[in-house]
Structure 1
Amino acid sequence: MSSSSSSPSHDRPTAVPDDPPPGYPDLGPEPVGQMRLLRVPAVPTAVVRATGVPMSTIAGYFDAAFGKAFPALFAAGVAPAGPAFAVYTRTTEEPEFTADIEIGFPLARPLAELHDGDPAEVDGMRVVASELPSGDVAVVSHLGSYDGLGQAWGEFMASIGAMGRAPGTPFWESYVTEPSPDMDPATLRTDLFCPARTPDDAA
């Protein structure tokens, strides 16, 4: 065999992307048990951004954003087009695990078309326009407590590599099941999304 005709990364089969389900990023009523690869459009979003948030304190930031910043936007007539999400645009592990994040909701149209003027700043948090990226995106559902998301992400990233793709950034999670005090954590559904790059993609 000629060494110039192939390489180990190209010898692995790569999945062919499917079309996204109607209403994407809503993946439908049934959890996605086996990872799927989708070719998706960009989706407009409304988000609160933060940099260098320690993962040990991130739950409190979520509570503040969803409890204070977004109610003001909803009161102005802007309605989310799907479940809340968190987008991780950058992560670091030293000296502690931190993340640059966007917390928010998908929208049917860009924020500027839905809201005339800048949303008010609440406790130092401002809602701004952003978007979920287009391209080839791998998706899977995690069922269970949020405590299991770290392991779920590790397995998900490994699955992307196993099909001959490379996990990209940003990656995000969508909180399909809204938690409540009396619910069984085992029934929580979180959908995971990650760009799946080909070996020839630029970093």
Structure 2
Amino acid sequence: MIDTPVIVHTHRQPTAVIHLTIPRDQIQVVMGPAIQEVMGVVGAEGIIPQDALFAYHLTMSPDVFDFEVGVPVAELIAPNGRVIPSHLPAAKAARTVYHGPYEGLAEAWGKFDQWVADNGYEPVGDLWEVYQAGPETGDDSSKWRTELNRPVK
């Protein structure tokens, strides 16, 4: 389900994003159109994404997601409608890759967080997912890959 986690040191990465604060149960309704909007603006401006789509969760509660959805870019973009410049942080982070459908992400995060705790790391603040391979790669969801990143002390 998840690869053996590793500790990495990330670098601050400019991004083009839409910031959303939504009820948790609206994620499947909101995410697709937001991705299309970001990619439309990036494409129209001739910007080449530097990596895969991601969701950067600033805060999470049982009822609300406060997050950015977007793509890494080479340099900060000018705001365009809801698409704004942002960044992924420079951080010491635990990282793994989950293999499977998006419906299994909650369980994957649970196993990943257990590894973080079992290995003596303390999570700090935010987290992000990078959608390395998803529905655009085919219908076999067992081949989908989502990178999970959890900053730690």
TM-score, normalising length from structure 2? 0.92
Cα deviation per residue 1:41-98 (whole Å; 9 max; x = unaligned)? 11111110012x12211122111112234312311111110000001101112xxx21
**TM-aligned CA distance change 1:176 to 1:139, over 3 Å:** same
Aligned counterparts of 2:104 and 2:60: Cα–Cα separation in 1: 18
Aligned counterparts of 1:72 and 1:39: Cα–Cα separation in 2: 30
Counterpart contact for 2:16–2:42, Cα < 8 Å: no
Give the aligned residue type for 1:60. Answer: V
1:111 aligns with 2:80: no
Q: Percent same amino acid among aligned pairs? A: 29
Counterpart contact for 2:94–2:149, Cα < 8 Å: yes
Instruction: Give the SS at the match of 2:135.
Output: coil
| 1:77-156 matched pairs, under 5 angstroms | 77-93=46-62, 97-108=63-74, 110-112=75-77, 117-119=78-80, 121=81, 126-156=82-112
Aligned counterparts of 1:191 and 1:75: Cα–Cα separation in 2: 27
How far off is 1:171 after superposition? 0.1
Residue in 1 that maps onto 2:19: 49
More helix by share: 2
Aligned counterparts of 1:130 and 1:154: Cα–Cα separation in 2: 27
How far off is 1:167 after superposition? 1.3
How far off is 1:162 after superposition? 1.2
Instruction: Give the SS at the match of 2:70.
Output: strand
Structure 1 segments of 4 or more deviating over 3 A? none
| 1:1-203 matched pairs, under 5 angstroms | 33-51=3-21, 53-93=22-62, 97-108=63-74, 110-112=75-77, 117-119=78-80, 121=81, 126-180=82-136, 182-197=138-153
Aligned counterparts of 1:184 and 1:91: Cα–Cα separation in 2: 29
Structure 2: gaps (5+ residues) = none
**TM-aligned CA distance change 1:69 to 1:106, over 3 Å:** closer
Structure 1: gaps (5+ residues) = 1-31, 198-203
User: RMSD of the TM alignment (CA)?
Assistant: 1.8
How far off is 1:186 after superposition? 1.0
Give the aligned residue type for 1:54. Answer: P
Aligned counterparts of 2:73 and 2:42: Cα–Cα separation in 1: 12
Aligned counterparts of 2:11 and 2:136: Cα–Cα separation in 1: 32
Ranked by relative contact order (alpha carbons within 8 Å, sequence separation 6 or more), the top structure is: 2
Give the aligned residue type for 1:111. Answer: L
How far off is 1:182 after superposition? 4.9
Aligned counterparts of 1:57 and 1:40: Cα–Cα separation in 2: 30
Counterpart contact for 2:79–2:85, Cα < 8 Å: no
Instruction: Give the SS at the match of 2:152.
Output: strand
TM-score, normalising length from structure 1? 0.70
Between structure 1 and structure 2, the one with the greater Rg is 1
